[in-house]
Amino acid sequence: MDGENFHVRSRGPQSDYSWLLQICSSPIIQGEIRRLSLLFKKTLQLLPAFSSYRRSYWLRWRWRTWWLGGALIPLCAAQAASLHVEERMVDQVAVRFYLPELGGVEKPRFITQRMLAFEARIQSLISRRKGAPEEGEVTDRSIQIALEVHLAEEIFSFLAEDILTREPALLKPMLQYVRTIFYEQVGGIGPLLKMAEKEGLGESELGALIERRTRAFLYVNSAFTDLLHPSEEDLNTLYRVIFSSLDPPSFDDEVRRKLVHQFSQARFNQVALSFLQAAQFRLKLKWVRPTPTLSPPS
């Protein structure tokens, strides 16, 4: 023994357990045991008992402490060594971007691969529901549209902070309105949850996406154009474009409600595209880590 360090020599088959002796003889472990022993000894000094009894009790307790520490510590170490931790990549950053309105280069924003892939699936599903041919669930075109929509929503959502500070009551009704539009676009909450499950997204991430879109709608509706109250001419034009078949449905209240929703989304997309085109020289974007299934559109 050198100081407080034990040097254990190998003895054939017993060398396999040398690591247990090293753990038990660790200065840290011994120090903790001594500290607990000293604490217990001071406690005994306060008890109204004879000196000889205290001493004998203290000796018995000290050896029990050493045996207990020597038994539990190797068991804990063996249990920890038997645990197998599987490393798994949860998510990665797909795109990094910054804009002067968002704080510039000192405050970059990030889009994760899971979120961008999920949004690309949404855009691909919307295109298929409109009758456009799509080669797969995630295509170059759907990635490009999803990226543009995400960028616009991120920027508009940030800029909506001043509006919500002045009128926070505007958020709740707009949230319900945007959620309804979102569900109608993808055919209900069922397909939406199915796509989210494929990308490993939870309810909190879906909620954050809808809230971001809501704040973006709120900003566009307040700063650019009215998204909620289209004119009759706008609705009639949209009706003729969508229902161009020989047997269109009657222009009832349900059809009108859906037309208003589609008008809101189409007008928002127009404003978002125009804004991104105007900000293309100020918006700095970089693909951080493309993958075979999610890469910059060609």
Q: pLDDT by residue (tens digit) across 26-61? A: 666 666 677 767 766 666 566 555 455 555 555 555
| 43 and 129 fall within a common domain | no
Residue 193 lies in a domain: yes
- In which domain, by residue range, is 51 found? 12-82
Q: Summarize the confidence of residues 86-93 as an average pLDDT.
A: 63
Residue 67 lies in a domain: yes
Number of compact structural domains in the chain? 2
| 154 and 207 fall within a common domain | yes
198-253 pLDDT per residue, tens:
888 888 999 999 999 999 999 999 999 999 999 999 888 888 887 776 677 787 88
Residue 88 lies in a domain: no
Cα 54 from Cα 52, distance rounded (Å) = 5
Q: Which residue has the higher pLDDT, 10 or 178?
A: 178
Angle between helices 189-198 and 171-186 (to 10 degrees): 80
Mean pLDDT of the chain: 78
pTM passes above 0.85:
no
Q: What is the pLDDT, as a whole number, of residue 5?
A: 40
Q: What is the pLDDT, as a whole number, of residue 253?
A: 84
Residue 181 lies in a domain: yes
- Token pair in block for residue 78: 């063996």
For every residue of 188-248, DSSP letters joined together read: SHHHHHHHHHHTT--HHHHHHHHHHHHHHHHHHHHHT--SS---HHHHHHHHHHH--SSSP
Contact 181, 261 (CB under 8 A): yes
Q: What is the pLDDT, as a whole number, of residue 229?
A: 92
Least confident piece of the model among 77-81, 96-100, 137-141, 280-284 = 77-81
| 65 and 146 fall within a common domain | no
245-286 pLDDT per residue, tens:
667 778 788 889 999 999 999 999 999 999 999 998 999 999
CB atoms within 10 A of CB 113: 20
CA dihedral sign, ordered 149, 224, 156, 281: positive
| 107 and 179 fall within a common domain | yes
Least confident piece of the model among 4-13, 52-61, 74-83, 103-112 = 4-13
Q: What is the pLDDT, as a whole number, of residue 161?
A: 94
Cα 162 from Cα 101, distance rounded (Å) = 13
| 78 and 149 fall within a common domain | no
Q: What is the pLDDT, as a whole number, of residue 129?
A: 78
| 274 and 185 fall within a common domain | yes
| 98 and 177 fall within a common domain | yes
Position 293 pLDDT exceeds 50:
yes
Q: Summarize the confidence of residues 169-195 as an average pLDDT.
A: 92
| 23 and 155 fall within a common domain | no
Residue 297 lies in a domain: no
- Token pair in block for residue 41: 């000894």
Angle between helices 203-223 and 113-129 (to 10 degrees): 70
| 41 and 65 fall within a common domain | yes
69-84 pLDDT per residue, tens:
555 555 555 555 555 5
Q: What is the pLDDT, as a whole number, of residue 264?
A: 94
Helix-strand-coil percent breakdown of the chain, rounded to 5?
65, 5, 25
How far apart, in Å, are the Cα atoms of 137 and each of 123, 192, 197?
9, 13, 14
| 69 and 126 fall within a common domain | no
- Nearest in space to 234 (alpha carbons), one of 211, 250, 256, 217: 256
**Residue that finishes a domain, picked among 49, 82, 115:** 82
